[in-house]
A and B are shown apart, each in its own frame.
Chain A
Amino acid sequence: MLEATHIRKSFGDTRVLKDVSLRVSRGEVVAIIGRSGSGKSTLLRCLNDLETVDGGEIRIGGQALVTMQAGQPVYKKDGERRALMLKMGMVFQSYHLFPHCSVLRNLTMPQKLVLGRGDGEAEAKARDLLAKVGLSDKAGAYPCQLSGGQCQRVAIARALCMDPDILCFDEPTSALDPQLTQEVLGVIRRLAQEKRTMIVVTHEMRFARDVADRVIYMEDGVVVQDGPAQEVLGDHRSDAIRAFAGE
């Protein structure tokens, strides 16, 4: 489904990703954990084409986004690149809803502009997904009238409206209090039960253990551990994970 190999990325002199590889299969939920500055968000941003890599290859559904040619990363041409990235969906830590649009329009506008869906189809899809995240009654509200948890659920619905093959979350609950966090994690949990392919960058260790099939632990721009959630976070977890969890 998704394959990233030997990803390298630097900001100035800081090497944020040093040869990171990652595979995600269909229906798999992968949690990426690690300290702030370990490179996990940057990795996710590279996978979503929000950052360009300095080296390495990324394939999504078998199609190459970037390949190495003569030692240099070469990206697909603009049009194909945008089309390929439609397979990916992304939910940000601070939602990035469109403040000037109602909840419903946040969900319908991208469908109409990007997928060319008609009003009726876009709205039906939007209402369907609003119901799914439990916000049917908020269709006419504006983002400023919603709580953080509600905003995040709208953002998840907005991403799902585009029918992505893989949904990515960049610390989706880091801006929320514990109660709102549960509200959002509940939605993600339900998506996992539907066997949606997801990559979740998170600080929620318990959530990672309960929901993820696989957990990747990053430190200093490299993958330190990559294995089944029970193995990485279970009773036999490594000293590195124990130190990270503050035990």
Chain B
Amino acid sequence: MRYFNNPEALLRLVSSMQEGFAITLTIFFATLLFSIPLGMVIALLRMNRHRAVSVPVSLYILVMRGTPLMLQIFAIYFAVPMLTGHNLERMTATILAFSLNYAAYFAEIFRGGIMSIPVGQYEACRVLGMRRSQTFFYVVLPQVFKRVLLPVSNEVITLVKDTSLANVIAVGELFRAAKNEASRTASIEPLFVAGLFYLIMNGLVTLFFNRLTQRMSYYRD
């Protein structure tokens, strides 16, 4: 053992992984920031009654969910410059790929949530004279929020771990930092330390969603 029996070395290892952790957090929060609103838009387009809209969107969701995220990261990082002639920053490509991919998953979760709202709610809004947009924002969306919390928390936990995929285009995130340290010192311990980072982060994510679920329990359907 090189680190686990040597607190000083362990502390140095952890601080050398700090920067990687910061990059991991950036990918994580940026992906959530973009993919959740985008997912809602995709869900609504997927439910559009015009097939010219819903069919292409279904295809998008099929491709995003049906191919490896790792491949999508490569594709965006290498193919976009070939097609457009502009180079992408590694981080930009990463966040773009993650956002497009996670938006597809979120879209299907939101779609399920929206479809689970009883038709009676729409009819009540209608006889009260509410517009469709008012119905959506004041009646449907707040109820969808509660209904999708659990599946969304699953997705967010997966995202924490998936950020490690960014290392395939040499983004220096947490896992890459740990891997570099591991090969430099010929020890597997840095990888376990990285694992601990992910675990702690997901503990916090779980705590956050438990709180949110509790806050939303002020009503039952």
Interface residues of A (CB under 8 A from B): 48-50, 82-83, 85-86, 88-90, 92, 94, 96-100, 109-110, 113-115, 142-144, 158-159, 162
Q: Counting CB contacts under 8 A, is B170 at the interface?
A: no
Given contact pairs A100-B146, A100-B219, A89 touches B138 in the complex (Cβ within 8 A): no
* Closest B residue, CB atoms, query A79: B131
Contact assessment for B127 and A100 in the assembled complex, using a CB-CB cutoff below 8 Å: no
Which of B10-18, B71-79, B116-124 is near enough to bind chain A? Answer: B116-124
A86 neighbours in B (Cβ, 8 Å): 129
Hey, which bits of chain B sit against chain A, CB under 8 A?
118, 120-121, 123-131, 134, 138-139, 142-143, 146, 218-221
Are A110 and B126 also in contact (CB < 8 A) when A100-B219, A142-B219 are? no
Q: Is the interface of B mostly helix, strand, loop or mixed?
A: helix
Q: Please, which residues of chain A bring their CB within 8 A of the CB of B134?
A: 113-114
Collect the chain B residues with CB atoms within 8 Å of residue A158's CB.
128
**Chain B, Cβ-Cβ closest to A94:** B120
- A168, closest chain B residue (CB): B127
Q: A50-B126, A113-B138 are in contact. Are A98 and B121 (CB under 8 A)?
A: yes
Per a CB cutoff under 8 Å, which of A49, A85, A92, A142 touches B124? A92
Min Cβ gap B152→A in Å is: 17
Q: Which residue of A is nearest B219, CB measured?
A: A142
Which of B123, B127, B143 has the most chain A CB within a 10 Å cutoff? B127
Contacts A114-B128, A114-B129; is A92 near B120 (CB within 8 Å)? yes
Given contacts A92-B123, A92-B124, A142-B218, contact A100 B131 (CB under 8 A): no
